[in-house]
Structure 1
Amino acid sequence: MTDLQRRLLAEFVGTAALVTVVVGSGIAAQQLTDDVALQLLANSTTTVFGLGVLILVFGPVSGAHFNPVVSLADWLLGRRHRTGLDLVEVCSYPIAQIAGGVCGAVLANLMFDLDAWQISDRDRITTGHLIGEIVATAGLIAVIFALARSGRAALSAAAVASYIGAAYWFTSSTSFANPAVTIGRVFSDTFAGIAPASAPGFLVAQLLGGALGLTLIVVLYPRSTAAAAGNAVVPHPTEPAAPNTSDPTTH
């Protein structure tokens, strides 16, 4: 398996697991209580812990983007210094992420004995929700690339997960902030779902939010270069490390 194939597999599995966490915890919360506030609390808390773990597990392999907006931002920031994802990677990452998002929703449905293939009828398209998505995505991009450009990307697991957990509550949209997750959640007609008619507006808002977050980072960190080789979320090697011949465990 090539290095790119390993990274795409990590993005696929990681995004699938993320959507499974989001949708599955939403289904469980909906089954356990009728209190919407408690449902959202359960959903957001589980997402915080799940996302943090997934970043730690898959970050060393692919950078743990799990998000087409993050991958696109990494590519854009790296053009000047020839760092970040290349053109092939920035086209491949979103495909793996979106496919993973859809599979993650189907898996969550199956785990709770629901129909595997569902289409949500949960309408979320309001002006407030769209503004919320712009804010949520702009903040997410700002957090990720502020850490990457200031040499603190190792803190991303805690920082990104904490931001998403907070944004569940301070944004009206409950912070999807991710096109792959948004598309995946279309395929579960449950607490965490989103109707197909609402998804395009969310996707546009996320792209706008990503552009705003990226602009803020360029202004705030004008002399810093983007993290190399897709290290936007977690630093990782793009090629397997050479064996350490001084380590007896390698012989």
Structure 2
Amino acid sequence: MTALPLWRRAIAEGIGTGLLVTVVVGSGIAAASLSPNDVGLQLLENAFATALGLAVLILMIGPVSGAHFNPVVSAVDWWIGRRSGAGLTPRDLAAYIPAQIIGAALGALLANLMYDEAAVSWSTTDRSAGHLWLGEVVATAGLIVLIFALAASGRASIAPAAVGAYIGSAYWFTSSTSFANPAVTIGRAFSDTFAGIAPGSLPGFVIAQVIGAAVGVALVRLLYPAVGRAADEVVVPHTPASTGASP
């Protein structure tokens, strides 16, 4: 196989992450408009759209970049695969993470503009509380275990449906509504709507997500000791950066 150029994979990650935030924020705005007096229904509409949108985006972008759309997933992919020569390289990681964060911010702007909102309206939704941080630890750990368990057991091809289903359900079983993604968390701060998070709440959520990722790594290594060799299959099978022409 010939490796796809890094710039193309990074752009794919930016586009995929941006469109994911557009789905999250856009469906949140629509839900608040369509069901203004029922927060539970708003959450259901937001979760349903996010689960389906995420699955579709993984199918679209996965063959190009792996469809990480998430800095902690990319970081864990590098960490787990580094000894076996699989997964992302440090150079890949340095391109993926900024692309994901920039894409997330632009995705929020796009959603705002589609609904005739200000391009940037900083969220005022405070989410600074210990039980919400615990929810983020649980949500992120579960996501990491799911993704890397699928790769290690040769079932990465079902990741679009599995990851979408997990995030859709985690909207409901976690206290934080499962952000589980630092880039998406940052992007959601750009919109003062149903799906937003106040900028002041970002550090607590991101720290909790990093802790959750570490917990997830420990669990997946316990359950699948040889997971490092499957790092090229995260999130879905794609052209590994370590083969073919250099980016």
Separation in structure 1 between the aligned mates of residue 153 and residue 240 of structure 2, nearest angstrom: 20
Separation in structure 1 between the aligned mates of residue 24 and residue 76 of structure 2, nearest angstrom: 23
Q: How does 1:212-227 map to 2 (within 5 A)?
A: 212-227=215-230
Q: Is the 8 A contact 2:13 2:69 kept in 1?
A: yes
Could you give the per-residue CA deviations for residues 2-29 of structure 1, whole angstroms, max 9, x where no partner exists?
6111101110000000000000000000
Aligned partner of 1:3 in structure 2 is: 5
Deviation at 1:223, TM superposition (A): 3.1
Separation in structure 2 between the aligned mates of residue 223 and residue 62 of structure 1, nearest angstrom: 22
Q: Is the 8 A contact 2:138 2:174 kept in 1?
A: yes
Could you give the per-residue CA deviations for residues 143-184 of structure 1, whole angstroms, max 9, x where no partner exists?
000001111100100000000000000000000000000000
Percent same amino acid at aligned positions?
60
Secondary structure, counterpart of 2:199 in structure 1: coil
Separation in structure 2 between the aligned mates of residue 11 and residue 217 of structure 1, nearest angstrom: 24
**Residues 1:204 and 2:207 aligned together:** yes
Aligned partner of 2:86 in structure 1 is: 83
Q: TM-score, normalised by structure 2?
A: 0.94
Higher relative contact order (CA 8 A, sep 6+): 2
Aligned partner of 2:102 in structure 1 is: 99
Deviation at 1:236, TM superposition (A): 0.8
**Alpha-carbon distance change, 228 to 218 in structure 1, aligned in 2, over 3 angstroms:** closer
**Alpha-carbon distance change, 104 to 224 in structure 1, aligned in 2, over 3 angstroms:** closer
Separation in structure 1 between the aligned mates of residue 230 and residue 89 of structure 2, nearest angstrom: 13
Deviation at 1:224, TM superposition (A): 3.9
Q: Is the 8 A contact 2:56 2:160 kept in 1?
A: yes
Which of 44, 50, 55 is the matching residue for 1:52?
55
Q: TM-score, normalised by structure 1?
A: 0.93
Aligned partner of 1:247 in structure 2 is: none
Structure 1's unaligned 5+ residue stretches are: 243-251
Which of 67, 73, 95 is the matching residue for 2:70?
67
Deviation at 1:92, TM superposition (A): 1.2
Deviation at 1:80, TM superposition (A): 1.3
* Counterpart amino acid of residue 26 in structure 2: G
Separation in structure 1 between the aligned mates of residue 143 and residue 221 of structure 2, nearest angstrom: 15
Decide which structure has the larger Cα Rg and report it: 1
Could you give the per-residue CA deviations for residues 223-247 of structure 1, whole angstroms, max 9, x where no partner exists?
3433244x310101147x99xxxxx
Could you give the per-residue CA deviations for residues 85-126 of structure 1, whole angstroms, max 9, x where no partner exists?
001011111100000000000000000000001110100111
Q: Is the 8 A contact 1:74 1:226 kept in 2?
A: no
Which of 4, 17, 27 is the matching residue for 1:15?
17
Which of 156, 166, 183 is the matching residue for 2:186?
183
Aligned residues: 239
**Residues 1:139 and 2:109 aligned together:** no
Separation in structure 1 between the aligned mates of residue 133 and residue 238 of structure 2, nearest angstrom: 34
Secondary structure, counterpart of 2:186 in structure 1: helix
**Alpha-carbon distance change, 29 to 224 in structure 1, aligned in 2, over 3 angstroms:** closer
**Alpha-carbon distance change, 137 to 224 in structure 1, aligned in 2, over 3 angstroms:** closer
Stretch of structure 1 that moved more, 51-60 or 215-224: 215-224
Q: Is the 8 A contact 2:112 2:118 kept in 1?
A: yes
Separation in structure 2 between the aligned mates of residue 50 and residue 24 of structure 1, nearest angstrom: 11
Separation in structure 2 between the aligned mates of residue 227 and residue 93 of structure 1, nearest angstrom: 19
* Counterpart amino acid of residue 103 in structure 2: G
Q: Is the 8 A contact 1:137 1:178 kept in 2?
A: yes
